[in-house]
Amino acid sequence: MKEIRWKKRLIVATAAFGLLFGTTACGNNGNVSTSQQSSGSNQKSDSDQLQEIRIGYLNVMDDAQAMLASEGGFYKKHGLDVKMQMFNSGTDLIKAIVGGQLDAGVLGFTNALTWLDKGADIKIVGGAQMGYHSMLVRKDSGIESLADLKGKSVASQQQGSTADIVLNGVVWKKAGITKNDVQMQYVSPSVAIQSLAAGKVDAAFVFEPYDSIARLTTPVKQIYEVGQEWPFPCMVVITSGKMVKENKDAVYALLDAQKEAVEMLKEKPAESAKLITKHFIKENELETSDGKKIAAMKVIEESIKSQTFEWKITPEQVEKMQEIADMMVEQGILKRKIDVKNALDLSWQEQVKE
């Protein structure tokens, strides 16, 4: 009976998070699904004086700065009338940028490399979030380390996603095993945690807020988080080279607004949670695995605290990006070696006064 109760909690909580739609963070795969909203909760009457810009985002914690810049009014503060468009995958988001349907977006930098490999005019212009991918197992599984996963089943994002790239290029190497030593199931993060809870897989490799919801509502534990041992930039701000050349002021204003959002996420997680919780949880509270209640805003606040948001792209991060680009060649995702620096336009951050 106890197991049935927490399984029901997981289903309800997952639905409350709106996570059943299979959004992928830092990913290169997924199904298209979009929704639009204007920046800020209150539209000003003089919005026609603001410069209109179209920004794409994924409904995951990795993209919190994009949501907060909208909900907190930072875009308007910097003279922008932003039309926010939500996507379920980085693949579809960057296609919209390449096709001219979007001006910019916050998504995994590996998407930019994939399109650069195809000859697209894409530029990475700012930072967003450092990678957070955790390995979860059931508390009663007896699994204590990555090495214990040899011969086990693991649920993760689709092949070619950033999660899959670092899983093969970093995580399994640390464990001394390869993907051939485990039984991989490529599913959405919501399906991954449901499968783990139901005992259909032995482990799940997920990101936030999936990690938080799983650990709150089911008897699972985290045995590894890649960002703690191998920090790497996952989400970045991407636009087209044409946009940078022809509308640099708008790009800079966008980055100024998101910089303020990043600083608020770091310094005021509770206040930030009040503004963006509605993007993730539809209910006011969730029931934990021990039957207690927890406020939805508190869940998102803790999820925010678990993240490393960063508006600047450092030389060390560029090196990690290059390592991942090389992994993509080794794994057959890219046809040729790419110099990551060719994808960067860091002129905005070079003129920022901290």
Domain-located, residue 208: yes
Same domain, 73 and 166: no
CA distances from 4 to 10, 20, 198 (A): 10, 20, 10
Domain-located, residue 3: no
Interhelix angle 248-267/64-71, nearest 10 degrees: 100
Alpha-carbon distance 131 to 227, whole Å? 6
Residue 161 has pLDDT above 90, yes or no: no
Of 91, 31, 30, 25, which is closest to residue 60 (Cα–Cα)? 25
Domain-located, residue 59: yes
Residues pairing with 136 in the sheet = 204, 222
Same domain, 205 and 280: no
Q: How many CB atoms lie within 10 A of CB 247?
A: 18
How many domains, the chain?
Answer: 2
Residue 309 has pLDDT above 60, yes or no: yes
Candidate from 68-77, 176-185, 277-286 with smallest mean pLDDT: 277-286
Domain-located, residue 6: no
Q: What's the Rg (C-alpha) of the chain?
A: 20
Q: If you average pLDDT over residues 163-178, what whole number do you get?
A: 92
Same domain, 223 and 268: no
For 94, counting Cβ atoms within 10 Å of its Cβ (0-12 exposed, 13-18 middle, 19+ buried), the class is buried
| Residue that wins the pLDDT comparison between 74 and 161 | 74
Residue 176 has pLDDT above 50, yes or no: yes
Same domain, 51 and 106: yes
- Of the three residues 206, 229, 252, the one that is the final residue of a domain is 229
Of 43, 51, 92, 87, which is closest to residue 66 (Cα–Cα)? 87
Residue 13 has pLDDT above 60, yes or no: no
Same domain, 163 and 198: yes
Residue 31 has pLDDT above 70, yes or no: no
Same domain, 213 and 145: yes
CB crowding 117-129: b at 16 or more within 10 Å, else e: beebebbbbbbbb
pLDDT band at 305 (very low <50, low <70, confident <90, very high): very high
Alpha-carbon distance 267 to 273, whole Å? 12
Q: What is the pLDDT of residues 52-97, one digit of tens each?
A: 999 999 998 999 999 999 999 999 999 999 999 999 888 899 999 9
Of 79, 117, 111, which is closest to residue 93 (Cα–Cα)? 111
Alpha-carbon distance 294 to 189, whole Å? 22
Interhelix angle 2-16/210-217, nearest 10 degrees: 150
Same domain, 56 and 184: no
Q: What 3-state class would DSSP assign to 147?
A: helix
The domain that holds 188 is classified in CATH as: 3.40.190.10
pLDDT at 152: 97
pLDDT at 23: 52
Residue 288 has pLDDT above 90, yes or no: no
Same domain, 125 and 241: yes
Provide the residue range defining the domain that includes 185.
Answer: 132-229
Same domain, 242 and 122: yes
pLDDT at 212: 86
pLDDT at 146: 96
Domain-located, residue 207: yes
Alpha-carbon distance 210 to 323, whole Å? 27
Same domain, 95 and 53: yes
Phi/psi for 331 (5° steps) reads -90, 5
Parallel/antiparallel/unpaired status of strands 203-206 and 153-156 = parallel
Candidate from 181-190, 196-205, 285-294, 339-348 with smallest mean pLDDT: 285-294
Domain-located, residue 184: yes
- Of the three residues 161, 195, 229, the one that is the final residue of a domain is 229
pLDDT at 37: 54
Q: If you average pLDDT over residues 140-154, what whole number do you get?
A: 96
pLDDT at 82: 96
Q: What is the pTM of this model?
A: 0.85
- Of the three residues 211, 229, 247, the one that is the final residue of a domain is 229
Same domain, 194 and 330: no
Q: For the chain, give the mean pLDDT.
A: 87
Contacts for 315 with CB less than 8 Å, ≥ 6 apart: none
Domain-located, residue 10: no
Same domain, 316 and 176: no
Domain-located, residue 192: yes
DSSP secondary structure code for residue 60 in this structure: S
